[in-house]
Structures are given as C-alpha cells and as structure tokens.
Structure 1
C-alpha cells in the first residue's frame, strides 16, 4: 500500500490538508507522499514556457514542497512529526496527477486535498481539483476545510440502507477504532425517502411508526456492516430532516464526516450523489468520501461527471 497522498499548492487550505494528512498517516502508521503537481506559468520565467522545463525551475518547485512539509512537521508535534514523508513536484495537471498516483503501485490508503477555491464573486467554493478528485478517485478521499474542530469529536457516518452506505459504516468504524473516537451513525429520513411502510397502503401511519421503521433500517445497516465497536462507543441517530441538512448539522460537532459516494437514489453512471456533493461543499469538518471496493472505472474511459440531483 502507498499510504497517504496529499495534494498541496502553498495555499492556506492546502496547509490545513497537509497538517491533517500528517496526523492521518501517523494514525495509520503509514508513509505520506506530499505532491505539488504544476504546469509552467509566466512566474517561472520565459524559459519555462516551452516543452522542456529548465532543471533549476523544477528544482525550485521541489524545494517549495520540502519547505511546506518541514513547516507542517514543525506544527504537528509527536507522533505526526516523525511520519515517513516524501516530497514530489511532478509537472502536470494536479487532479490527473493525484488520481494517477493514487493507483500507481497499488491503491493508496487515502487521498487528501484542501477544500476551497474562490468563485467569481469571491465566495469560498469547492475548488476544481478537489471536485475532480472526489468525482473520479477509487480510493477514499478526504476533503479538508480549515484547521479542524479539535480532538475528542466523534466520527459521523451518514447511512441510507444502500450497499455503499454499509461500506461507509465499515470505513468509519475502522477510523473510530484506531483513533479512539466514538462512532455516530446517522440516518436522516422523510416520509418520501422511506416509502410506504409494510401493510400501510391506502392510509398514512403516524410519524412515530416511521421513526421506528427508520431506526430498524439503521440497525440493519449496523448489523450488516459489523462495526466491531463496543455499544458504548456507537451512537445511533435517527433524524426527521432532509439528508443534506442533517449531515451538515451533524458535521458541526464531528471530527470527521464519512459518506458513500452515492446513496440509495443514485444511478450506476453517477459518480457522486447530491447529498455527498453538498456535504463536501458545506460541511464544518473534514469529509471522507468512500466507494465500495468493487467500484472501478472502465479502462480508458473518463467517468461521467454528471451529478445525482
């Protein structure tokens, strides 16, 4: 396994992602690869405009990455500061490079990116690189926003009963197990999302019946996932709220939010569902997006970038 790969570009958001990736690599006892993929610009001077980039330009880029890594180590403290980390500054498109590296020599444990760019009006939005990585990566991707909310917070995982959400629970449980955090399993429901209750055709059951039915579905997901945590470290949360609103509200007290790339309403051709996309854009904590182990893209084809709306 390659360990953890993090994309950096010198921005504040990339710095937060690098700090987070160092801690994640330490938790996994895995190596860290720090990647700054770049294309020559006029800042690199007129000599770099051609196909052959002068060696001194490439060397300068690599030195920047090493400096960012050294600064992150100084901020990290033990044991993250002792992570086996290497710096790379390959020339190329950032998203494409990160996606390729995450599969070279076997799949990476995790791919980490900062969250934001800036829209035309100056509003912080999901940047093009994290957007592409979340859409197309086949390994777990964590999008980091800001410096984090501090230690001791639970790992929250959103479920809906789909096979993808079962895999998300397993991933979240593994994170909780190695970090010592509590695991909060969240199922957000509305009558339209649960469909008619058994034997309820022709009449509307009380809301309490739907609440109990949703709780049963959540327990079924936990039973299928087999989380392997003691009951006192697992919080079951059933909320009568739209999923986008529910996961964003839960992220305000979470150390990490884990979601499948798509839920029960997704189509096979769609890469990231609307709830997951909304969470990556607006969550208050780092968001980890996972895919089932069998989810791979056909060789030589670029996945459809449409979203589940």
Structure 2
C-alpha cells in the first residue's frame, strides 16, 4: 500500500493528524488511507457484530468527510476499520506506505505524557517514515511546559527544519526534508548542532583548546559535506546552513518554532544498536512545536 496512511480515533489529536495527512497526500499526489483500529467485539453479541463494524465504518467515513470539508481538499481516500491491537493495525496498514501519520497526545497536568503509547510504539517499530502531529500549541498543554509556542506565523516561505550530524539516518532525514522543501517551495533549514562539554588538560599543563571559531568552521565543513552527500539540489536562497553551539535536541526544538515540520533521523551518532529511537529524536518528538517526521 503506497501513499499516506493515517491513524484515526476521533480525538482532537487524531483529527489534527487527519487534516495534516490529507494535505500531505494532496501535495504528494498519492492516495490517503485512514485506519481506525477496533480492539474487537468484546461485549458485542455475535448477531450485533456486523452492525457494530458498520457503525464504526460510518463513523470513520464521517471523520473523513469532515476533514475534507475543513481542508477543502478532495482526493482518493479509503477507509479501513481494522480489528485488533491499534499499534499492530497501523504498522501492518503502513508497512509499504510512503508515510505514516499519527496524532500526538496532549501533555497532562503532571507534564508527563506527550506521546501516547500507540504513537510511541509505532515510531519505535515502523520501518517507514512516521510523522507525529500535535494540536496547535497552547491548545493542549495544561501545565504550560509543552513545546515551544510558535506564536504568529512567520513571514515568507514555510521552513522545513532538519537535524544533521554525519550519521546515516541523518543523511536520509536530510534527503527526505529536501524532497519536502523542493515539492512545497519551502526553505530547508539544515541544523548542525555542536557542543563542547569538557576538555581534559594534558598532565602538567593547563591544556589547550582551539578557538571556538575553529570548532564552528569544522562543523560548517561537515555540514557542507553531508549536504553534498545527500545530493541536496535547492537554490541557495532556499537552503539555510544553520551551525549552532547547542545540544542537538535544544537546537531543533528552538528551530521548530514557526516551522512547517521538523525532520530527524531515528538515531544519530549518539545512538546504540540496541536502541530503536535515539534520545534526540525522542526529545524532539515530545517537545517540538511543529509536526515531527522520523526517518529510518
């Protein structure tokens, strides 16, 4: 199943994801599949099973119709009601998709939950790019500690922010983000974050650290190399090389303010083979104020 697959549940977060997915599918000129997972007929009499299944399908079609009206878009859309575990249903439906789209759970009173369990598991296990869409900033962060508030829309073209180091996943993320920027006319904001934590002096000396501008020049060279490796071909006025002295997660979360989306690799240089999702990717997913796409 090629195209865009979106998980639908009827929540405000899922509706935001559905609207975003519909717009993305129209931009890509690919079909959209909306998947509603149903845990099964527990408590439903066998004679009522088919009626219950049809009711859920009608609910899903109603959500699709409402999204088409909100976005003023009409395209090839299909609806699937899938019985079983929601995570498995979405992973199966999106196994060969170009993109999987999910909603991001709002932050609760204790500031603990951002990604829901289904979204988190899908991002961890999916082998295709996954975009997690949040409700507009300020609408769902009860404790005021959520992602950066994007404030008023920025003037000029939209921005697509991508995190770059020199890892394989970041090259894939850069290629994905460059395709989005080329297709939508957005500016590609390639963020290469670097940070000095500690420098150990040589025994018997005060130690030596090169000037910071040498570190920055080195980082800028690495960014240029990765851009060339990824084959990015955008006009110079639509490619921003953003070399910043910050932790990668902080830099990307700050850059997400006002952005159209943020793209990250599933795991960067700091990841371990046993970890499916790196700490930077997870922090960006939880706190960025724009939709986040995770690429493998």
TM-score (normalizing by structure 1): 0.83
Please tell me whether the aligned partners of residues 130 and 295 of structure 2 are also in contact (alpha carbons under 8 angstroms). Answer: yes
Counting only pairs closer than 5 Å after superposition, residues 67-78 of structure 1 correspond to structure 2 as 67-77=62-72
**Offset, 1:163:** 1.4
Give the Cα separation in 2 of the matches to 1:193 and 1:160. Answer: 20
- Measure the CA separation in 2 of the matches of 1:47 and 1:185: 52
2:41, 2:49 within 8 Å by CA — same for their partners in 1? no
- Rounded to whole Å, the distance in 2 between the matches of 1:257 and 1:193 is 29
1:96 and 2:85 correspond: no
1:199 matched residue in structure 2: none
Task: Spell out, residue by residue over 1:131-179, the C-alpha distance to the aligned partner (whole angstroms, 9 max, x if none).
Answer: 0011000000000011487693210000111111111100100000111
Structure 1 residue ranges, 4+ long, deviating more than 6 angstroms after superposition: none
For residues 193 and 207 of structure 1, the distance between their equivalents in structure 2, rounded to whole angstroms, comes to: 13
Task: Indicate the residue corresponding to 2:142 in structure 1.
Answer: none
1:133 aligns with 2:122: yes
What residue is the counterpart of 1:86 in the other structure? 78
CA contact (8 A) 1:99 1:133 kept: yes
| Matched position secondary structure for 2:127 | coil
Other structure's SS at 1:210 match: helix
In the alignment of these two chains, the number of paired residues is: 274
Q: Could you give the per-residue CA deviations for residues 89-142 of structure 1, whole angstroms, max 9, x where no partner exists?
A: 111111111111112xxx111000001156584765210111001100000000
Picking from 252, 257, 274, the partner of 2:257 is 252
Which whole-Å deviations, capped at 9, do the CAs of 1:251-296 have from their partners, x for residues lacking one? 01211000000001112221100000001111100000000xxxxx
Cα separation, partners in 2 of 1:283 and 1:53, compared to 1, 3 Å: farther
Tell me the TM-score normalised to structure 2 length.
Answer: 0.87
Which shows bigger deviation, 149-158 or 168-177? Answer: 149-158
Indicate if the aligned counterparts of 2:40 and 2:84 stay in contact, CA closer than 8 A.
no
1:273 aligns with 2:270: no
Alignment map for 1:38-53 (pairs within 5 Å): 38-40=38-40, 46-48=43-45
From the superposition, tell whether residues 268 and 250 of structure 1 become closer, same or farther in structure 2 (CA, over 3 Å): same
For residue 12 of structure 1, what is the aligned residue in structure 2?
A: 12
Work out whether 1:58 is the aligned partner of 2:63: no
- Distance of 1:7 and 1:64 partners within structure 2: 14
Unaligned runs of 5+ in 1: 196-201, 292-309
CA contact (8 A) 1:4 1:108 kept: yes
Unaligned runs of 5+ in 2: 138-149, 201-206
Alignment of 1:49-198 (within 5 A): 54-77=49-72, 81-103=73-95, 107-116=96-105, 121=110, 124-147=113-136, 152-192=157-197
8 A contact 1:194–1:214 mirrored in 2: no
Please tell me the root mean square deviation across aligned C-alpha atoms, in Å. Answer: 2.3
